[in-house]
């Protein structure tokens, strides 16, 4: 991935809270534990040597238990907090090097925050809450109203623009918070436990709405949660923090299938993998063989290494020859027209959605990319193996 596709780069960031953080950095860097540092020096290690890259247009989730450093980390991104050591680059600009004026413009235009407790002004209407940042920034009233109404529609609150926050449910109030953040047209949304205070059903709706908004808007969203299901649902990438340290960063599937350490493994142990793991992540290479050339000899040779996909003259998957077919290749290839049709699925399908298809097919599935080109196969066995980890823990 080229550097210019990275929106936010966090480089070896440390944050120590206390009277003289610089004086305890040697100890922190030497690896003294958070509790040891607190006991010996009275300083709190908020973040320890965290490096992360956040891509433009993705939803990046930071998760961890309470006190793990999530809020401390995200507040570095718009320099509400300055690191004790390390750097934060946004669009390749070091936020620590910004002048007061640059920083003000950066906070007004480039990044927007959505807070857990909504932080709405109680005596202002929904619309006024949404546009207050715009008018402060100097936008004319009429233009701000028009712009604000568009954001209110985006979050499905049209008709409520003249109500006051206390007349709205928690979920609706958070929609106002979201509309207010969107109103600045910021490229980056920072959402610190934005949905954590909501009831489960409402929270579910908000997650769906955020996903739907993001498909249209392609913002760079940094979303904090302590809820793994929420992280897996929303995050293109997920970072797991513990005691201020980054334990793992990767896609949800990466983290579930290859947890970096015992802590992460325990963290993800109870998750339903079938909802997260895609068939594409289990894909195995397959040999390709045109139907007109296929015979027992060349097909058998391919099966030495992989399963084989037999292609039509147009290059479309026609049939999959699996390891179980090895001893009956002659029979199979004698009546080519009778070969069962290959079952093709898109690599992005999660296992849960693939179960009934898998159950209905004797042969491995052909995995295709977005443009229906075969990229390999997934066998029933590899699916079972992926899920068996669940039981094994």
Ligand X SMILES: Nc1ncnc2c1ncn2[C@@H]1O[C@H](COP(=O)(O)OP(=O)(O)O)[C@@H](O)[C@H]1O
Measured CA to CA, the distance from residue 282 to residue 87 in angstroms comes to: 37
Q: Which of ligand X, Mg ion, none does residue 379 bind to, with CB < 5 to 8 Å depending on kind? A: none
Residues between 3 and 32 that touch ligand X (CB under 6 A): 17
The residue within the footprint of ligand X, chosen from 6, 13, 50, 72 (CB under 6 A), is 72
Measured CA to CA, the distance from residue 306 to residue 325 in angstroms comes to: 12
104: nearest Cα among 131, 136, 74: 136
Residues between 209 and 268 that touch ligand X (CB under 6 A): none
- Tell whether residue 69 is a contact of ligand X (CB under 6 A): yes
53: nearest Cα among 5, 106, 107: 5
Nearer to Mg ion, 88 or 386 (CB): 88
Q: What separation, in Å, do the N-terminal and C-terminal C-alpha atoms of the chain show?
A: 32
DSSP 3-state assignment of 163?
coil
Give rounded-to-5 percent helix, strand, coil for the chain.
Answer: 45, 25, 30
Nearer to ligand X, 82 or 330 (CB): 82
Longest dimension (CA), the chain: 82
Q: How many CB atoms lie within 10 A of CB 30?
A: 7
The residue within the footprint of ligand X, chosen from 57, 71, 163, 288 (CB under 6 A), is 71
The nearest distance, CB 385 to ligand X, in angstroms, is: 34
Measured CA to CA, the distance from residue 1 to residue 92 in angstroms comes to: 15
Size, binding site for Mg ion by CB under 5 A? 1
The alpha helices in 43-125, defined as continuous H runs, are 70-77, 100-105
The nearest distance, CB 15 to ligand X, in angstroms, is: 8
Q: Kindly indicate which of the ranges 65-73, 206-214, 231-239, 262-270 contains the residues binding ligand X, using the contact rule CB under 6 A.
A: 65-73
Nearer to ligand X, 20 or 323 (CB): 20
Cα radius of gyration (the chain): 26
Nearer to Mg ion, 65 or 388 (CB): 65
Measured CA to CA, the distance from residue 125 to residue 117 in angstroms comes to: 17
Q: Of all helices (H) and strands (E), which one includes residue 317?
A: strand 317-321
Q: What are phi and psi of 207, to 5 degrees?
A: -60, -45
The residue within the footprint of Mg ion, chosen from 17, 71, 298, 353 (CB under 5 A), is 71
The nearest distance, CB 254 to ligand X, in angstroms, is: 22
The residue within the footprint of ligand X, chosen from 41, 59, 68, 154 (CB under 6 A), is 68
Q: Which of ligand X, Mg ion, none does residue 98 bind to, with CB < 5 to 8 Å depending on kind? A: none
Which x/- pattern over 90-129 shows residues binding ligand X (rule: CB under 6 A)?
----------------------------------------
The nearest distance, CB 66 to ligand X, in angstroms, is: 4
The residue within the footprint of ligand X, chosen from 25, 53, 56, 67 (CB under 6 A), is 67
Query: Which residues here bind Mg ion, judged by CB under 5 A?
Result: 71
Query: Which residues here bind ligand X, judged by CB under 6 A?
Result: 17, 44, 46, 64, 66-72
């Amino acid at each position: 991935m080229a550097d210019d596709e990275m929106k936010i780069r966090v480089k070896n960031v440390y944050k120590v809270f206390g009277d003289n953080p610089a004086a305890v950095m040697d100890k922190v860097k030497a690896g003294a534990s958070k509790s040891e540092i607190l006991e010996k020096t009275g300083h709190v290690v908020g973040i320890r040597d965290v490096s992360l890259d956040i891509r433009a247009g993705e939803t990046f989730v930071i998760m961890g238990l309470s006190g793990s450093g999530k809020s401390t980390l995200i507040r570095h991104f718009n320099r509400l907090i300055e690191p004790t050591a390390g750097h934060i680059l946004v669009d390749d600009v070091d936020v620590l090097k910004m002048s007061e004026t640059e920083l003000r413009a950066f906070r007004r235009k480039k990044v927007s925050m959505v807070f857990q407790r909504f932080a709405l002004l109680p005596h202002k209407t929904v619309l006024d809450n949404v546009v207050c940042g715009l008018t402060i920034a100097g936008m004319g009233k009429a233009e701000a109203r028009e712009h604000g109404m568009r954001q209110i529609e985006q979050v499905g609150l049209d008709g409520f623009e003249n109500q006051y926050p206390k007349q709205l449910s928690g979920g609706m109030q958070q929609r106002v918070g979201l509309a207010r953040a969107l109103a600045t047209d910021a490229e980056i949304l920072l959402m610190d436990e934005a949905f954590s205070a909501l009831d489960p059903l409402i929270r579910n709706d908000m997650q769906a709405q955020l996903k739907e908004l993001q498909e249209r808007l392609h913002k760079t969203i940094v979303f904090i949660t302590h809820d793994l299901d929420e992280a897996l649902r929303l995050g293109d990438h997920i970072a797991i923090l513990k005691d201020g340290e980054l334990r793992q960063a990767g896609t949800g599937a990466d983290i579930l299938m290859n947890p970096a350490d015992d802590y992460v493994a325990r963290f993800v142990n109870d998750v339903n993998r079938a909802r997260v793991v895609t068939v594409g992540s289990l894909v195995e290479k397959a040999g390709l063989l045109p139907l007109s050339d296929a015979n027992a000899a060349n097909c058998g040779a391919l099966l030495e290494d992989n399963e084989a996909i037999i292609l039509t003259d147009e290059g479309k998957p026609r049939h999959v020859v699996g390891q179980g077919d090895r001893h009956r290749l002659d029979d199979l290839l004698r009546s080519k027209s009778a070969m069962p049709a290959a079952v093709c699925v898109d690599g992005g399908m999660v296992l849960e959605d693939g179960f009934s298809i898998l159950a209905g097919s004797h042969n491995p599935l052909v995995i295709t990319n977005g443009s229906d080109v075969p990229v390999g196969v997934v066998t029933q066995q590899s699916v079972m193996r992926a899920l068996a980890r669940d039981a094994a823990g």
